[in-house]
Structure 1
Amino acid sequence: MRKKFLQNCKNLLQERYVSDVVYCSDKELIGRAAEWARSLIQREVRGPGDLPRAMKRLERRYDLPERTLWNLRYRPNKLIASVYLRLQAAYEAETKRQIEMLKHELELTKAATGEDATTSSAIRAAEALVASVAPPEISE
């Protein structure tokens, strides 16, 4: 009797959970989300064999389910709308973080080279790159 009661509770909770979830199956949106996931994972992986741990770190940092990252990497077919929005926010945050790191490294390089920094073609090219790079506009 207890087992039957628990199974009924489980079924009821699953039905309620599924009814509150909006799934997205648009191929263009799924493709965009898969690209964001791929990019986040690529930036997070520290070396060979680190893929599962990289996904766990992304899960902790951005509250993205590890299983969703795996699905987007290997078999993208549907996605929960709220996860799509979290993935979008994570991608934007990571892109901004990378741009800030690039700016900081450029400042360190300029400080280390001193007066010759303005005449160095490599530094001028890096400054042009930083000036041209802006966080990508994600249209919805």
Structure 2
Amino acid sequence: MKDYIAKAAKMTKEMVKLETEGTGDTDNAMRRLSDRHKLPYQLLWNLRFRPPKSIAYDLVLFIAEAYRKECRSAGAALLVEAEAALIEEGLNATDRNILVAARSVGRHAEGADEARSFGRNAAAA
């Protein structure tokens, strides 16, 4: 299997894992991802369960963009959850510093995620 297909399959599996709400929800999770990101459902299914031998590279780039958006969304949700937990327990100076650092890392990590570097790495292969 080509490297870029393996990466697309990995990103698809991770997106489905993030989207799945429980046991037996895999098919529905793939349909929600398909609708949200305008990706063909059959492509997601194939990448999840039976990676193809070849795939149009522009579809791989669309998957990478969808993966980046899903990761950003999941990270934002975790940050909100962490903020709520810290506020509920009462913030101290150390907690505030950790929260500020987490926000800063989140903003700076957007340019270094796998999806952004994906196009450059695959083009060199």
Normalised TM-score (structure 1): 0.67
Instruction: Establish whether residue 45 from structure 1 lines up as the match of residue 37 from structure 2.
Output: no
Structure 2 gaps, min length 5: 121-125
Query: Which one has more relative contact order, counting CA pairs under 8 Å at least 6 apart?
Result: 2
Which residue is 1:98 aligned to?
Answer: 74
For the pair shown, the structure with the greater C-alpha radius of gyration is: 1
1:112, distance to aligned residue in structure 2 (A):
1.2
Instruction: Establish whether residue 114 from structure 1 lines up as the match of residue 90 from structure 2.
Output: yes
Check 1:31–1:127 CA distance in 2 against 1; reply closer, same or farther (3 A cut): farther
Amino acid at match of 2:4: L
Which residue is 1:29 aligned to?
Answer: 4
Q: In 1, are the aligned partners of 2:9 and 2:48 still within 8 Å (CA)?
A: yes
**Structure 1 residue ranges, 4+ long, deviating more than 3 angstroms after superposition:** 117-120, 123-133
1:81, distance to aligned residue in structure 2 (A):
2.0
* Partner secondary structure for residue 31 of structure 1: helix
Q: In 1, are the aligned partners of 2:18 and 2:74 still within 8 Å (CA)?
A: no
Q: In 1, are the aligned partners of 2:83 and 2:99 still within 8 Å (CA)?
A: no
Structure 1 gaps, min length 5: 1-25
User: May I ask how many residue pairs the two structures share in their alignment?
Assistant: 112
Instruction: Establish whether residue 87 from structure 1 lines up as the match of residue 67 from structure 2.
Output: no
The Cα RMSD (Å) is 2.4
* Partner secondary structure for residue 64 of structure 1: coil
The structure with the largest helix share of the pair is: 2
* Sequence identity percentage: 31
